[in-house]
Every structure is written in C-alpha cells, then in structure tokens.
A and B are shown apart, each in its own frame.
Chain A
Amino acid sequence: MTALFFLVALVLLISAVGVVASRNAIHSALFLVGNLMSVAVMFAMLNAHFLAVVQVIVYAGAIMVLVLFVLMLLNIKLENQPALGKLVIGLAGLGGLAFLWMMVPLLQRSFAAIPQSAVDVQGSVREVGKLLYTQYVFPFEAASLLIMAAVVGAVMLAKRRYRA
C-alpha cells in the first residue's frame, strides 16, 4: 500500500512541477490532467471512492475540458516573452521553501499526536449521499444556486457582443 502511495505521490509531484514549469500551456494542461488523475487515485486509496469518481468527472472531465477548449480556441502561442527574471523565480522559490519550512513541522507537530480513529470510514456513494441529503442539505442547495449563478455569469461574460 505504501509503495503504491509513493508511486502515485511521485506522479503527482512530477505532474505538478510539469504544470508550473512547462513553457507550453497545453503541456501544463495535460500535466494537470495527470495530476488530477493521481489525486483521484489518492482519494480511492483513502476509501473516498465517490470523491475519486466525482473528481474525475468534475475536474478532469469538465474543468480541464473547458481549459483545453479555451487553450485551443485561443491558440495560445508559446510563452513568447522571456520567462520571468531569475530574481522573481528565486524569490518565489525562496518563499515556497520558507512556507514549507514553517508548514511541514507545524503539520507534523499538530496532527502527529492525534491517533488514527478506529472507524474505518467508507466514502462510498451511499454514505456520502446519505450525509449530503440529511445533514448538509442546505449547503447543497446553496451550491446549486452558486453553480447557476456561475453559469449565467460565464455566458454573459463570454457571449460575443454583436455591434447593434
């Protein structure tokens, strides 16, 4: 199990680096798809099956398709400007390292102590569905409203305004 974990983790990180580092937007999009897939696998390993599938459907299936659509429609040329100066990359990297340097020990300290709970929670569609429609029904409806708004917004924004 841990071997699988490290493998998937590796894929995940490589694809993440790929997203950030690749010069061509399409490549980074594909890397992101790979990343999302590996996250889905992670979910599956954590018994969150419903989430894994939903992750694939929502992220890989819908969002990335949109991204690819946009990329292809706008036929983004390669990043013609030179990559940002060394200073900015260095600085950002430094910031990232600092963040890690602080965050990782913090996580270690705060969560290592908590014992692994006995209940082996199963993220199956049934359990999640049951919980979703009983306890979290209000947020669920709110989410649907949000999506409605997003759709209307997207249409309004992207609709080509024909000169009257």
Chain B
Amino acid sequence: MEQNGVTALGYIPLFPLIGSVLAFIIGRSKRDAAGWIATLASAMAFAVVVALVMAMPEEAEYYYRAFTWFSVGGFTLDFAFRFDHLTAVMCLVVTGIGSLIHLYSVAYMAEDEGRHRFFAYLNLFMFSMLLLVLGANLLVLFVGWEGVGLCSYLLIGFWFKNLSYAGAGRKAFVVNRIGDAGFLFGMFMLYRQFDTLDFAELAQAISVNASPELLPLYFVVALCLFVGATGKSAQIPLFVWLPDAMAGPTPVSALIHAATMVTAGVYMMARLNFLFDLAPQAQAIVAIVAVFTAMVAALTALTQNDIKKVLAYSTVSQLGFMFMAAGAGVYWVAVFHLVTHAFFKACLFLGAGSVIHGCHHEQDMRHMGGLWSKMPITAATYGISTLAIAGIYPLSGYFSKHAILAALEGGHNPALEGLLELLVPMASVTAFLTAFYMTRSFAMTFLGSYRGHAHPHESPLRMTAPLIVLAGLALVGGLWLGGTLPHYLAPVLGSPAEHGHESIIEGLMHSWIGIAGIGVGLLCYTSLSQIPATIYRVIGPLSTLSLNKFYFDELYAAVVVKPLEAIARVLFRVVDQGMIDGAVNGTAAVVDVSGEVARSTQTGQVRHYAFFMFVAALLMLFLFVFAGRV
C-alpha cells in the first residue's frame, strides 16, 4: 500500500464535516440555505466515492494516512483511512442513500424552525458514519462508532421540548454506550495481545499465531465485539432503544435506523471476518441471538399500531437476518442483505414519512386507510418495498433472504451443526411473519376507507423522487447485486461457494413463504376484517405480550435502572454523609469531649491542687527510690 495514499479518501468525510459546520453557521440566519448546503455536501461526497470506485483497479485498495493521531510509548496510532471493496459498497450505500434522504428531508423539515440544527446534525452523522466505514484501524472505527451514537442522540432528541423524546435520545445514547463498553473490552484485549489495532496488521498477526491457546482469547474478543454490535445494531439484549428512537423525525429514522448506523455492527463483523472465523462458537452464538431477535421483533411488529414502530421492529428483525448470515460465516450474504435492506427499508420509512407528512403528523395506522387513491406514488413505492421485504421473486429482498436461508442450511460453521433443525424453521417462520405484518401495515394504511379526520394529500416531488429511486433500486438491486457482489467482495470476504442461476419458475417456487404471508395478510385485512379481531381474542394474553414489546423495557428498568438509582441514593446518604463524614465529624467531637473532661480537673480548690502536687512528688520519689533497683 503506498504510504500517504489517495488524499481523495480524506475528502469523503471532509465534505459532510464542512457541510455540517456551514449549515449550522449560515443556517442561523438563513434557515432554508442549511438544507441545500447539507444535501450538496453529501452529494459531493457521493460523487467522490463513485469516482474512486470507478478509478479503483480490480484488486487494489487505497490507503490514506491523515496524521499520526498519537504515539505513546511504542503504541503509535495513525488517523488513517482504507478504501477496499467492502468499504466501497458501504460508502456507496451511506452516501447514496444519505443524499437521497437529505433531499427528502429538505422538503420534510421545510417548516421546522430548528432545521439548520437538524441538517448540521445530519451532516455530522454522515461524517461520523464515513469515519466508521473508512477507518483503517479499530480506533478510527470506534471514533465513528461513538460519533454516530452521539448524532443519533442529538437527532432522536431533536424536538427536545418534549421531555419523553429527550429521554428516548438519552436512552439510545446510554444503551449504545453500554455496547461501546463491550467494544472497548474487545479492543483492549486485542491491543494487549497484539499491540496494534490496525486491521491489516491485526489480520496479519492473527493469521500468524492462530495457535490453539489463543482460541479462547479470540472467542472472548469476538463476543465482546458482538456485544458492541448488538448495542449499535439493536440485537436482543440492547435493541430496546430502536423503537423509542422513532421519536426523532422520520428522515432520521430512515437514514440512521434503517440504512446506515444500525448496519455498522454487520460491517464491523465483515471487516473483522478473519477474527470471527477463528471463533466458531462465537459465530454460533451470533447466529442464535440473531434468530431469536428476528423472531421476537417479528412477533412484536404484528400488533403495533404506529406505522414507524412496525418498520422499526421490522428493521430489528431484518438485522437479525443479516447477523444470521454473518453467524453462519457467509459474510458477503450479510452485506448483500444489508444493501438490499437499505434500499427497501429506506423507501418504506420515507414512504411512511410522506404518509405522516400528508396526514399532518398522524402516525397511528388505525386513523389511516384508503390512501391508495390520495397518495398513489407513495402507495406504489411502499407496495413495491413491501413485496421486496416479503421476499417475492424478482425483487432484491428475495435474493438476499433466500441466500441467507441457503447459507444457514449450507452450514459453513461447524458449531451450528446441532442447532440447524431449530434455527432454519424459525427463520422461515420469521420470514412468513415479516411478509404478514408488512402486508398488514400496507393494508391498514393504503387499503380500505380513510379513518382519519385530516385530508391527506400527495407529498411534493422532492419527497416522492427519492421514493421512486429507492423503489427502483429495490426492484432491480437484487438481480444486479446477486451476481456481481460476491465476486466484488471476494478479495475482502473470501470467495463464496458457487450456486446455480435460478430460472423464474424456481424463483417463484422458492418465494412461496413470502407469497403465503402476503396472501394471508391481504385476506385478513381487506375482506375478512373480523378474523384478526377473533384471533386476538383467542390468543388474548399473547397479543398483549407482543403489544407491550415483551415487557423488555419494564424488565430492564426493574433489573438495572431502578436498583442502580436506589444504590446511588443509598451510597450518597448512608456511605458518604453517614459513614465517612460521620467519621470526620466524629473525630472533632472526640476532641471536644476530651477537652471537657480535662477541664473538670480545674476545681478552683487550692486543696486539690496541693494534693495533686503531693501525689506527684510521691511518684517522683517512688521512681527515684525504686527505679534504681528494679
């Protein structure tokens, strides 16, 4: 790798940074300009990425060292970027979809008076995400990692007047921080073992000493990094913040909670694939957790009435799928699903955004319905994306989801042998559920008669254009990428097992799960509308369970938050005030009391003093007389 490499790499994150600063400063006076500056900045970043991808020779990768961040006692760390195929894909997704969302949000946030702040944060987010993706070592990745967490905090809590939104922001940041702590442990162990955090050096060092006694270390490191990933990509233990994150404006959800930030975990596992390969048990755990997350999220999504909450849980579920692939050891499939998911989920979120925009900030699906006629473009794009996510043949969703299920069955990972009989059916059931709740949301919003009291209208072109582009990508993406992606990522993630090209009929055959899901969904929510009501009565407690998101929040509150608060209060009251301060003030009191005792000997009676003197003289005499001899 040439030393200082391509300075262009430096420009990619630079543009959004400058954009963010300019948006904030100029935006203070001219609110509208902020939107365009931000969009321009992300577009330029996208342009640079595309140029680099075009110019990059097949096997090469670019490396750019900005400056030595710090070198302390033999541990030097550069602020450096790497641009290989994996990064290229991620950058394309981030900057591409980012620019579309910027364009969309210019219109969406048109009348919000704090929008200059919004666009500054959005660009800052782009900057951090690019840092995360481009980072040449774990530390720069971690910088991006926390930067992204910060921006999500700022954006979720954007409408800070509402204390619950601010609380959601704080919750997101704290949960992410817990994940980051895990990530830090992983980094410490790596540093302690290999004295470096640079990916290239790590890969080289790990490949050299893959000796057996280091395996447990790799297992622990892999697990810690996965904990970090769960925090960021909302897997089982730490996913609670994602649904609450819907408190932020919809474009935020689209960009951060669909396309980019949540996928960071997957990217990290892909980037460190050489490490995870050496820890099969860790991968097995990843897979198991992923499947369960997918299942739980899907079940919860069934009963959600808020359109954004449904999409949030579907994201968690889809992430579960991605981690299934990663857990199975087939990383390019995970990335493939990541990309396709970015397309249709962003489109879904933006669609939901335009619906909410149309219905004047109405988010509850029960007050919508029958928007097909009023918002045709939104409905169409939303429909295409629903089909894609359900995994119907020609669309991208099918290819990536099918590849995941195949990978899972393929079983590259030895540790997964026993569990396959359990995981694969669960995965397919989840796929069915995904199709079902997506059609439910589609039906409740667009089909039937309008139940709300506002009068919805189609969103302007600037909002619908990105929808159309994304829907197009969802349509064609699967086909195009299915073929090219495995070879493109081969140098980084290893070459995939070849698999035959399917015909259309085989495609349709394989997507029977999706078709069945949509069918049942349509059936329930259009004609036989009373079926869902009866089902709910029958499985009564189950439905309330899923409605309240399996009480995870309450669980965490009871197990972690409340006790900690109690401990804190006790520590302060009892330990700090009581014991330590008590001891300090206690010694003062002791001195006071002893003073009082000493004072009592001064009786004022001359006789007493005479007697004391006499006794003292006696003692002296005694000492004098007997000291000599004793």
Contact = CB atoms under 8 A, between A and B. Distances in A.
Q: Within 8 Å by CB, do A and B touch in the complex? A: yes
Contact of B621 (A88, A91, A92, A103): A103
Contacts of A150: none
B607 to A, nearest CB: 8
A81 to B, nearest CB: 12
Chief secondary structure at chain B's binding surface? helix
Interface of B: 607, 611, 614-615, 618, 621-622, 625
Nearest to B615: A95
Interface string A131-151: 000000000000000000000
6 contacts: A88-B607, A91-B611, A92-B614, A95-B611, A99-B621, A106-B625
A102 interface: yes
A92 B618 contact: no
B625 A98 contact: no
Contacts of A92: 611, 614
Contacts of B621: 99, 102-103
A92 B611 CA distance: 8
The 7 closest A-B pairs by CB, nearest first: A102-B625, A102-B621, A95-B614, A106-B625, A98-B618, A99-B618, A95-B618
A103 B621 CA distance: 8
Interface residues of A, number: 9
Contacts of A95: 611, 614-615, 618
Contacts of B614: 92, 95
B622 A102 contact: yes
A88 B610 CA distance: 12
B610 to A, nearest CB: 10
A98 B611 CA distance: 14
B40 to A, nearest CB: 104
B621 to A, nearest CB: 5
A91 B611 CA distance: 10
A98 B621 CA distance: 10
A106 B620 CA distance: 14
Nearest to B625: A102
Given A91-B611, A95-B611, A102-B625, 14 more contacts: A88-B607, A88-B611, A92-B611, A92-B614, A95-B614, A95-B615, A95-B618, A98-B618, A99-B618, A99-B621, A102-B618, A102-B621, A103-B621, A106-B625
A102 B627 CA distance: 13
Contacts of B607: 88
Nearest to A109: B625
A103 B615 CA distance: 14
Nearest to B608: A88
A92 B607 CA distance: 11
A95 B622 CA distance: 12
A80 to B, nearest CB: 17
A133 B622 CA distance: 40
A102 to B, nearest CB: 5
B627 to A, nearest CB: 12
Contacts of B622: 102
Contacts of A88: 607, 611
A94 to B, nearest CB: 10
A9 B391 CA distance: 134
Contacts of B625: 102, 106
Contacts of B615: 95
B84 to A, nearest CB: 101
Contacts of B618: 95, 98-99, 102
A91 B622 CA distance: 17
A25 B621 CA distance: 32
Interface string A84-105: 0000100110010011001100
A95 B611 CA distance: 9
A1 B618 CA distance: 35
A103 B618 CA distance: 10
Interface in A60-94: 88, 91-92
Nearest to A99: B618
B612 to A, nearest CB: 11
Contacts of A106: 625
A99 to B, nearest CB: 6
B629 to A, nearest CB: 11
A99 B622 CA distance: 9
A98 B625 CA distance: 12
Most A CB within 10 A of own CB, among B607, B622, B625: B625
B178 to A, nearest CB: 75
Nearest to A92: B611
A92 B622 CA distance: 16
A90 to B, nearest CB: 12
Nearest to B610: A92
A95 B618 CA distance: 8
A92 B614 CA distance: 9
A103 B607 CA distance: 23
B550 to A, nearest CB: 84
B143 to A, nearest CB: 85
B339 to A, nearest CB: 104
A148 B607 CA distance: 30
A91 B621 CA distance: 17
